[in-house]
Structure 1
Amino acid sequence: MANSPLIAGLELGGTKCVAILGTGPGDVRARDTVPTTDPATTLAALEQVLDGWQFDALGIASFGPLDLDPRSPAYGSLSATPKAGWAGTHLTRRLTARYGTPLAIQTDVVGAAFAEQRWGAAQGLASHCYITIGTGVGVGLISGGRPVQGAAHGEAGHMRVQRVRGDDFGGACPFHGDCVEGLIAGPALAQRFGRPGREIADGDPEWDLFVHDLTGLLHNLVVTAAPERIAIGGGVMTSRARLFPKLRAALAASIAGYGSFAAYADQLDDRLGPPGLGALAGPLGALAMGLEAMDETRG
Structure 2
Amino acid sequence: MAYYGSIEAGGTKFVCAVADEELKIIERISLPTTLPEATLAQVFTFFDAYELKALGVGSFGPIDVNRKSSTYGYITSTPKPGWKNVNLLGALKERYDIPIAWTTDVNAAAYGEMHLGAGKDTQSCIYLTVGTGVGGGAVVNGTVLQGFSHPEMGHISVQRHPEDTLESTCPYHDHCLEGLAAGPALEKRTGLKGQLLEPDHDVWAVEAFYLAQALMNYTLVLSPGKIILGGGVMKQTHLLPKIRESLEQQLGNYVALPALEEYIVGCDLGDNSGTFGCLLLAQEQYA
TM-score class normalised by the smaller sequence: over 0.9
TM-score by length of 1: 0.90
Aligned pair count reads: 287
Match of 1:22 in 2: 19
Give 1:249 shift.
1.2
Q: Is 2:237 aligned against 1:245? A: no
Please identify runs of 4+ aligned residues in structure 1 that moved more than 4 A. none
> Which residue identity is paired with 2:237?
A
> Which residue identity is paired with 1:68?
V
Q: Deviations over 1:72-113 (max 9, x none)?
A: 121111111122221101111100110111101100111011
Give 1:147 shift.
2.4
For 1:97, what is the secondary structure of its paired residue?
helix
Match of 2:81 in 1: 84
Match of 2:8 in 1: 11
Give 1:225 shift.
1.1
Q: Is 2:104 aligned against 1:107? A: yes
For 1:207, what is the secondary structure of its paired residue?
helix
Give 1:25 shift.
8.2
Give 1:175 shift.
1.1
Gaps of 5+ in 2: none
Q: Deviations over 1:156-201 (max 9, x none)?
A: 1100111111311111111113311111222332233322222222
Task: Trace 1:94-243 onto structure 2 (pairs within 5 A).
Answer: 94-237=91-234, 239-243=235-239
Q: Deviations over 1:117-169 (max 9, x none)?
A: 22122224221111111221111112121123232111111001111113111
- How many Å separate the matches in 2 of 1:135 and 1:166? 23
Q: Does the Cα contact within 8 Å between 1:116 and 1:123 map onto a contact in 2?
A: yes
Q: Deviations over 1:242-279 (max 9, x none)?
A: 21111111111111111xx23x0x51111110122222
| Counterpart pick for 1:256 among 252, 258, 265 | 252
Q: Deviations over 1:184-219 (max 9, x none)?
A: 222332233322222222221121111111111101
Match of 1:293 in 2: 285
| Counterpart pick for 1:75 among 72, 77, 84 | 72
For 2:132, what is the secondary structure of its paired residue?
coil
- How many Å separate the matches in 2 of 1:157 and 1:123? 24
**Seq. identity, %:** 37
State the Cα RMSD in Å. Answer: 1.8
